Amino acid sequence: MVTGLFAALFALGQIILSLLIVRLRMKHKVSLGDGGVPDLQSMMRVHGNFTETVPMALILMGLAELGGAPFAAVYGMGVMMVFSRLIHAYALLTPPGYGTARKIGMSLTFLTYTLGAGICFWFFIVSL
């Protein structure tokens, strides 16, 4: 099951991002919020963007896979999403926090969503 592989990878990513935030909180003695610490603010946004975008991609991948989408399509969606999150995180953590890398990261996320949505729409239409 391809989606399971990527769910596992994203779970590890979530753990890593959470631990990086914990480390920054301990370093800067910040219990709640960002404490006005720029590094913590950036890392929290990386974690937030990851948390906001990965679940929908996994849902679309899982539904596409359950519907019988080709292995390459589901695997491709997973690979695009991994790269999108890595590139986006890099962009957010590298001053000034925006630019081409961030656009590429979000574009790959939207491409993953579009492919998944298209596959799900297709399977719905052909099932009528």
pLDDT (tens digit per residue) in 81-112: 999 999 999 998 888 877 899 999 999 999 99
Burial group, residue 13, by CB count within 10 angstroms (0-12, 13-18, 19+):
middle
Domain 2-127 falls under CATH 1.20.120.550: yes
**For residue 98, what pLDDT is reported?**
79
Structure tokens at 64: 């596409």
72 pLDDT above the threshold of 90: yes
Instruction: State the pTM of this model.
Output: 0.93
24 pLDDT above the threshold of 90: yes
Smallest Cα–Cα separation from 115: which of 66, 87, 76?
76
Contact, 34 vs 91, CB < 8 A? no
Burial group, residue 18, by CB count within 10 angstroms (0-12, 13-18, 19+):
middle
Domain ranges of the chain: 2-127
